Amino acid sequence: MEHSASRDGFVDWPTSEDYISKTLDVIDSLAARYATHPALLEIELLNEPSATAVPLDQQGYKIVRKHSPMDYVIVCQRIGNADPTELYQANIGFTNVVVDLHYYNLFDSFFSNMSPDDNIQFIYKSREGQLQQLTVQTAPLFLLVRNS
């Protein structure tokens, strides 16, 4: 279910140490440049990675903390049918970490014949347990961004 954009069609960057290193360099550059800007609230490390990005998230968290001890560091669950609790169990960091959740009913055939109201009720009833599981005192904050 890869839908990332690329200039050359290559989207498997997580398998390349060179690409991961360049990504961390970009995070370092942006954090260094904007960490002291009063309008900066957060830095999201990756949006909807197709593979587990836990090692990059751990390194990216350290990079952001090097420049800013208090800005939020946002990590995003993998795209597709991924369990967001994997990010909670990864011990990425402990200060101002937010897990960005994206639920896409639109791309799952299970939801094709449901009305908009049925989709909303599914979110309220079926996803409530997972969201409650994520809302524990020792866990990072979470941000439910998209339901489509």
What are 9-37's pLDDT values in tens digits? 666 666 778 888 998 999 999 999 999 99
Residues 83-88, mean pLDDT to the nearest whole number: 75
Taking all residues of the chain, what is their mean pLDDT, rounded to a whole number?
79
Task: Looking at the chain, list the stretches that DSSP marks H as alpha helix, in order from N- to C-terminal side.
Answer: 17-34, 54-67, 85-88, 116-126, 128-134
High-pLDDT (> 70) share of the chain, %: 77
Say what the pLDDT of residue 2 is: 47
Say what the pLDDT of residue 34 is: 95
What are 117-146's pLDDT values in tens digits? 988 888 788 777 777 777 765 556 666 555
**Torsion angles phi and psi, residue 34, rounded to 5:** -110, -5
Say what the pLDDT of residue 119 is: 83
- Say if CB 68 and CB 122 are below 8 A apart: no
Whole-angstrom distance, CA of residue 98 vs CA of residue 80: 19
* Token pair belonging to 28: 């370092």
Lowest mean pLDDT, pick from 1-15, 27-41, 49-63: 1-15
- Write down the pTM of the prediction: 0.76
High-pLDDT (> 90) share of the chain, %: 22
Whole-angstrom distance, CA of residue 93 vs CA of residue 57: 9
Say what the pLDDT of residue 7 is: 61
Lowest mean pLDDT, pick from 63-67, 107-111, 121-125: 107-111
Whole-angstrom distance, CA of residue 51 vs CA of residue 77: 9
